[in-house]
Every structure is written in C-alpha cells, then in structure tokens.
C-alpha cells in the first residue's frame, strides 16, 4: 500500500520532516503499528497525518 501525507509533521522516530502531499515513508518500509498510529487519531497531534493512496489500474488500449 502507498500512503500520502495530509499535513506537515516531523516524524518522531527519525526526525524526517514530511510536507503535505509527500509520500510516506520517504524511503524503505515502516512498521504496521506506526502506520496505524499516523492514520488514526491516536498520535501526538490527535488527528490523522497520513492516508492510504488508492492505486488506479491502467487499462491498455488494444
């Protein structure tokens, strides 16, 4: 799954600054628990910081 940043924040785990519209994580992978924290209200800000990006399948024109 891919994730997009909803609001600017600094990641407490690695001090990386994310800006609205950035992809999350900026590189590599992260723990499922961390993603669930950032998607929910259960984080230091009290509101979702990232969301799931729905992937659209491209249809080939034959």
Tens-digit pLDDT profile for residues 25-62: 999 899 999 999 999 999 999 999 999 998 776 776 75
pLDDT in tens, 10-35: 999 899 999 999 999 999 899 999 99
Q: Which residues contact 35 (CB under 8 A, 6 or more apart)?
A: 3, 24, 50
Query: Residue 7, Cβ neighbours under 10 Å: how many?
Result: 12
Query: Residue 50, Cβ neighbours under 10 Å: how many?
Result: 23
The gap from C-alpha 23 to its chain's centroid, in whole angstroms, comes to 6
pLDDT, position 18: 97
pTM: 0.82
pLDDT, position 41: 96
């Amino acid at each position: 799954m891919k994730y997009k940043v909803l609001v600017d924040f600094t990641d407490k785990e690695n001090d990386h600054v994310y800006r609205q519209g950035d992809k999350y994580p900026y590189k590599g992978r992260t723990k499922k628990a961390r993603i669930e924290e950032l998607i929910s209200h259960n984080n230091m800000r009290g509101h979702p910081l990232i969301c799931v990006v729905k992937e659209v399948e491209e249809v080939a024109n034959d």
